[in-house]
Chains A and B, each alone.
Chain A
Amino acid sequence: MLQILIYGAVISSIYALLAVGFTLIFGVARILNLAHGSFYALGAYGVYTLTANLHLPLWLAAIISVLLVAALGVLIERVLVRPLRRSMLAVLLITLAVALMIEQVLLLIFGSEARNVPSLVDVTYHLFGVDISGQRLLALGGGIVVLIGLWAFLQFTRLGTAILAVSQDAEAAQYMGIPSDRMYSIVMGVSAGMAAVAGVLVAPFQTVIPSMGLLPLVKAFAIVVVGGLGSIAGSIVGALLLGYSETIIAFKISIEWSQIVSVAAVLITLILRPAGFFGKRAAF
């Protein structure tokens, strides 16, 4: 029981990181970023390369990896997405192309065997009768810290307010002197960075293979739909719901049934309440 509580929390934290990043870029720039999972994978691979090949200390490798992925996100938005913004389908297909390319590059460079990333915290704690690795606790804690940081950024800084303004009405924001285009790039960077943080946090205990980003993308997607496209609070609630339902079902029934939860949740949400729990944009 306690095991479910803790493992569910860890998974929810990672899901929340991914989902909030996904919903952020959709809410602000209306981009369904299919490369979001790739940023997650790149975060993990970045840490691997920086520690294994360049022998940097883990904490430094983590920070550099996240910054590099964020920069890549900005670059992709600026070069590939911006010219195609007129058509949502085109943007979706281009992010898909980017995702495919990144996976192929990773496959070419690193091959398909799983890579080992050392843990930041190598201790296994024994909490209330449950064994839990320090790295998983770090993932939980790190996720919470980043999410709180994001919230603070959006609420209390000028840039954050500008981003919220753009998400409400891009044109009106421009009348107020906010360069919407630049905001899109910044948000893409933030979104990619958050995905990379998730990748960095899970790399020590998840299989690091080139296709590792696919399933998290699907989950993030499902959470965002259930919580409401564009709503950060919705994504966090959705992440908790999905994380815990998956953990409970995996423990009590079977792993296969737990995989269907995410997609079934999307379907049911879209049929019953398409805007999701906290969705602002009407879907009809």
Chain B
Amino acid sequence: MILKADWIAALLAVAVLAAIPLVFRSSYIIGIMTVALCYGMWAASWDFMSGLTGRENFGHSLFIGAGAYTAGFLNVNFGFNPWWSLLAAPFVAVLFSLLMGFPTLRLRGPYFALAMLSASAVMQNLTIIFSTYTGGQDGLNGLFPILDSTLAYYYLTLGILVASAALLKFIANSSWGLILRAIRGDEATCQAAGINVTFYKIASLMISAAIAGLGGALYAHYQLQVGPDLFTVVLSINIIIMVYVGGMGSIYGPIGGALFLNVLTETLRGLSEFRLWVYTVVLVFILFFLPQGAIAPLWRRIRVAFR
């Protein structure tokens, strides 16, 4: 059920995000926020698939890297206009999700997570092995920015994030989302009820991959380079932590988690040795005291006060 409070909060959040570059005029901060927005896309897309269906995907970086390297190949190796990356990246990511989804989604429990994790690790190794095509460890450099000003690119990224989040939330609130949640509850019962569970699982993985790939391309055109560290397990796990902090299954919570953790790690950049400590402490704190996450449950408490 969508309350009026939800709409107001969403508009407020977007307004705040839009106002940030106007308040903090440094391009350093705008850059950090752009990256944070990309993480928001990745977190929201992960949550759409894994948060709703309960099938935790530990290889989300596979789609991110696929999108980013698509952008890299098209732009650097073939000289395409950077705007094409935004179109092509989701497609390539979806192809990967089809390739990996069919054989792995029938696996139960931790096996799906492990399969996706090893898929992304395989891609990471392949990009290093075939370094003549992919640039190996150094990756591909010299991507062209889509827009010339960091400010404009921030708004582009923000716009795409809002549109993606709205799309994901719309699907999550529809009967599709209900079916996905039912799959998390009891897959066998869903099948007995005549629902084509495989179709829904693969479709949600495809959608998740598309958004993640799009985010990957946006990230690539911000950093102006792509490397094999976009395929790492570390990236997938960082995203899962962000989703956990935000609250699984809510779509907006993970975006908040992504923003929070990105800002947190940046503010702690001064205490460089203790940065990872704080990250870890936050994680442990959430696991023990707020297992449902922080942002989504908090919002759920607040919103009913405004009925």
Residues of A participating in the B interface, judged by any CB pair closer than 8 Å: 32, 80, 83-84, 87-90, 93-94, 96-97, 100-101, 104, 107-108, 218, 221-222, 225, 229, 256-257, 259-260, 263-264, 266-267, 270-271, 274, 282-284
Residues of chain B with a CB closer than 8 A to A87's CB: 291
A4 to B268, CA, bound (A): 48
Q: Which of chain A's residues has its CB closest to B284's CB?
A: A97
Contact indicator B108/A263 (Cβ below 8 Å): no
B197 at the interface (CB under 8 A from A): no
Contact indicator B107/A93 (Cβ below 8 Å): no
Contact indicator B111/A84 (Cβ below 8 Å): no
Residues of chain A with a CB closer than 8 A to B114's CB: 221, 225, 266, 270
B129 at the interface (CB under 8 A from A): yes
Pick from A218, A259, A270: contact of B107, CB below 8 A: A270
Pick from A89, A96, A107, A283: contact of B56, CB below 8 A: A89
Contact indicator B121/A218 (Cβ below 8 Å): yes
Residues of chain A with a CB closer than 8 A to B119's CB: 267
Interface residue count for B (Cβ, 8 Å)? 33
Residues of chain A with a CB closer than 8 A to B277's CB: 101, 104
B91 at the interface (CB under 8 A from A): no
Residues of chain B with a CB closer than 8 A to A94's CB: 284, 287
A90-B291, A270-B115 are known contacts. Are A108 and B106 too (CB-CB below 8 A)? no
Contact indicator A104/B276 (Cβ below 8 Å): yes
Contact indicator B107/A284 (Cβ below 8 Å): yes
Q: Which of chain B's residues has its CB closest to A80's CB?
A: B284
A90 to B104, CA, bound (A): 22
20 further A-B pairs in the complex, CB-CB below 8 A; given A107-B273, A256-B125, A274-B107: A80-B284, A97-B287, A100-B276, A101-B280, A104-B280, A108-B273, A218-B121, A229-B110, A257-B129, A260-B122, A263-B121, A264-B122, A266-B118, A267-B118, A267-B119, A267-B122, A270-B115, A270-B118, A283-B107, A284-B107
A108 to B241, CA, bound (A): 24
Residues of chain A with a CB closer than 8 A to B125's CB: 256, 259-260, 263-264
Q: Which of chain B's residues has its CB closest to A257's CB?
A: B129
A271-B103, A271-B115 are known contacts. Are A260 and B241 too (CB-CB below 8 A)? no
Which B residues from 242 to 284 make CB contacts under 8 A with A?
Answer: 244, 273, 276-277, 279-280, 283-284
Residues of chain B with a CB closer than 8 A to A274's CB: 107, 111, 115
Residues of chain B with a CB closer than 8 A to A271's CB: 103-104, 115
B237 at the interface (CB under 8 A from A): yes
Residues of chain B with a CB closer than 8 A to A97's CB: 280, 283-284, 287
Q: How far is the CB of A91 from chain B (nearest CB, A)?
A: 9
11 contacts between A and B (CB under 8 A): A88-B109, A88-B110, A93-B283, A94-B287, A257-B129, A260-B126, A263-B118, A263-B121, A267-B122, A271-B115, A282-B108
Q: Top 8 A-B pairs ranked by shortest CB distance? A: A266-B118, A260-B125, A263-B121, A270-B115, A271-B103, A267-B118, A283-B111, A263-B118
Q: Which of chain B's residues has its CB closest to A263's CB?
A: B121
Residues of chain B with a CB closer than 8 A to A96's CB: 237, 283
Q: How far is the CB of A274 from chain B (nearest CB, A)?
A: 5
Q: Which of chain B's residues has its CB closest to A279's CB?
A: B111
Q: How far is the CB of B108 from chain A (nearest CB, A)?
A: 6
Give a binary string over B277-305; 1 marks a CB under 8 Å from any A CB, 0 the rest.
10110011001100100000000000000
Residues of chain A with a CB closer than 8 A to B276's CB: 100, 104
Which B residues from 219 to 249 make CB contacts under 8 A with A?
Answer: 237, 240-241, 244
B156 at the interface (CB under 8 A from A): no
B128 at the interface (CB under 8 A from A): yes
Residues of chain B with a CB closer than 8 A to A108's CB: 273
A108-B273, A263-B122, A266-B114 are known contacts. Are A83 and B107 too (CB-CB below 8 A)? no
Residues of chain A with a CB closer than 8 A to B279's CB: 100
Q: Which of chain A's residues has its CB closest to B123's CB?
A: A263
Residues of chain B with a CB closer than 8 A to A222's CB: 118
Give a binary string over B73-103; 1 marks a CB under 8 Å from any A CB, 0 the rest.
0000000000000000000000000000001
A229 to B107, CA, bound (A): 14
Q: Which of A90, A108, A264, A274 has the most CB of B within 10 A?
A: A274
Contact indicator A284/B108 (Cβ below 8 Å): yes
Residues of chain A with a CB closer than 8 A to B129's CB: 256-257, 260
Residues of chain A with a CB closer than 8 A to B122's CB: 260, 263-264, 267
Q: How far is the CB of B44 from chain A (nearest CB, A)?
A: 18
Contact indicator A84/B288 (Cβ below 8 Å): yes
Q: Which of chain B's residues has its CB closest to A283's CB?
A: B111
Q: Which of chain B's residues has its CB closest to A218's CB?
A: B121
Residues of chain A with a CB closer than 8 A to B284's CB: 80, 94, 97
Q: Which of chain B's residues has its CB closest to A30's CB?
A: B110
A259 to B115, CA, bound (A): 17
A264 to B115, CA, bound (A): 10
Q: How far is the CB of B110 from chain A (nearest CB, A)?
A: 6
Residues of chain B with a CB closer than 8 A to A84's CB: 287-288, 291
Q: How far is the CB of B264 from chain A (nearest CB, A)?
A: 15
A108-B273, A260-B129 are known contacts. Are A283 and B241 too (CB-CB below 8 A)? no
Residues of chain B with a CB closer than 8 A to A89's CB: 56, 244
Q: How far is the CB of A27 from chain B (nearest CB, A)?
A: 13
A100-B276, A270-B111, A270-B118 are known contacts. Are A83 and B288 too (CB-CB below 8 A)? yes
